[in-house]
Structure 1
Amino acid sequence: MSDYSIRLYKDSDYHVARDLFAQGLLEHINIAFRHALHQPQIWLPTLLVLTLPALGLVSVALLVPVAIMAVLVLWFCSRYMYTSYVDYALSDDMLDINKYYLQRDGFCFWVAETRGGEVVGTIAALPSSDPGGEKHLELKRLSVATKHRGKGIAKVLCRTLIDFARRRGCEAVVLSTTVPQINATKMYEKLGFRQTHTFHHQGLLGQFLDFRFLVYRYDIPGA
């Protein structure tokens, strides 16, 4: 980690920060797709459909393109869960990072930078909007460039945010992540975050794909 430093976001980081955020989320599309394929509400009807040729109800020639189309639809639905959120965030808080995170009390945005000046990681903090979370800080926009992972950068970014929350007198840090983000959840748990609950995203489509958010909380010692 000595080859990296954590500093506040600058306007010159704009495009890199947005790209790191988007790429970090979109890389989970295929994992989400494979997760969806394992859900009973998807594979059970698929098995039933596959028996139709044996029953003489449809021909194999007709079933194959239908099956291919169904798989493609499922993949695009999994993709939509991430692309829709990325599009939303890029037009919301990530549209003007400086104004949203650095010009408001209780908000902040940091980047991880190499000795050569390359921005390779991001993390953001904002007051939690959840009911009863008046003294909670929310962790968002954590992302580390693929080739720089496994070097402890994400942990240092998280600890920077936790220290920020402690100085502000917060009682806890909260965050939400998705089921396919396996490495992230393992890291959060090693840092002391505990899962509090889960919820499905995007209504019926989220339930059909089992697209769940995992909510974590870190209680600040002595708060």
Structure 2
Amino acid sequence: MEKKNNLQFSIRGYEASDRREVLALLCDGVLEHVYPAFFRSLAYPDHVGVALSVCVAGYVLGGSSYLLALLFGAAWAGLLYYCCHQVHQGYLQRRLEAARGQNGLLEGSGLWVAETEVGGRTRLVGAVAVRAVKGDQGAPGGRGEDRTGEEEEEEEEFEEGEEELELYGELPLMVVSYGCRRRGLGSLLALKALETCKGRGYTRLLVDSSSPQAAANTLYRKMGFVQTAAHGETHANRWIAMLARVQVLTLEKLL
């Protein structure tokens, strides 16, 4: 138990009754990055040039109308916001489908929640999950076959003649309620994940993040994670992803 700024946090195993609150944390944690992504996209040099060109076009087409110039610029900004929202909404939809599916994120044994007492009531304010991934050895940052069953299934011997594969950990979920940020809870959850991976004999722990998640990326790097990959493939429409300018980052820590 850790005490930070008069709040005490306790971490326990996930229970079925926590499902609704964990899903709510997941939704809030993903969608809160729409605005940071939008402002980053808006400030991108190419997009600044387009915004100025659009405003000038509106001014000229409107017969020296400042109002039309403003409306054209607002339309461009609205398009960028829409693209950023679509990228995050699509990601959230995939995470919810994975969480609710059979043997999904909320059904495994590697999920913990954090609680604290606020106003005399116990509130769930954070969650972290670890799952095993089987992949080729010597391929950092890659993705292998997900192992979402019980821990004993992760440790079963490979069939005779099958090439030996590395077993490593992945962090599919780590979220902290907004009101409990900067109080050490993120570090506690990350340490729980690292301790679990070491206890299970995993060689490394991987986490996928994104460029708008500045606070989370700073925390990961402070804890020894190193960025091993970055790409713009967000599973959204290619043009939407290009305008949103959201980079998907892979960070890794050797154990």
The TM-score with structure 2 as length reference comes to 0.76
Partner of 2:113: 111
> What is the rounded CA distance, in whole Å, between the counterparts of 1:77 and 1:159 in structure 2?
34
**Cα deviation digits, residues 172-199 of structure 1 (max 9, x gap):** 0001111111110110011111111211
Letter aligned with residue 111 of structure 1: V
Partner of 1:85: 91
Q: Which runs of 5+ in 1 are unaligned?
A: none
Q: In 1, are the aligned partners of 2:113 and 2:124 still within 8 Å (CA)?
A: yes
Letter aligned with residue 209 of structure 1: A
Partner of 2:250: 215
Would you say 1:183 and 2:218 are equivalent positions? Answer: no
Q: In 2, are the aligned partners of 1:120 and 1:144 still within 8 Å (CA)?
A: yes
> What is the rounded CA distance, in whole Å, between the counterparts of 1:63 and 1:103 in structure 2?
53
- Which moved further from structure 2: 126-135 or 3-12? 126-135
Change (3 A) 1:129 1:65: farther
Would you say 1:76 and 2:82 are equivalent positions? Answer: yes
**Cα deviation digits, residues 113-152 of structure 1 (max 9, x gap):** 1255321100111123665453221112111111112221
- Which moved further from structure 2: 201-210 or 77-86? 201-210
Q: Which runs of 5+ in 2 are unaligned?
A: 145-165
Partner of 2:174: 142
Shift of 1:153: 1.0
Identity of aligned residues (%): 24
The TM-score with structure 1 as length reference comes to 0.86
- Which moved further from structure 2: 56-65 or 174-183? 56-65
Partner of 2:194: 162
Q: In 2, are the aligned partners of 1:179 and 1:211 still within 8 Å (CA)?
A: yes
**Cα deviation digits, residues 95-124 of structure 1 (max 9, x gap):** 158x424755xx611101125532110011
Partner of 1:126: 131
Change (3 A) 1:68 1:188: same
Letter aligned with residue 218 of structure 2: K
**Number of aligned pairs?**
215
What RMSD, in angstroms, separates the aligned Cα atoms of the two structures?
Answer: 2.2
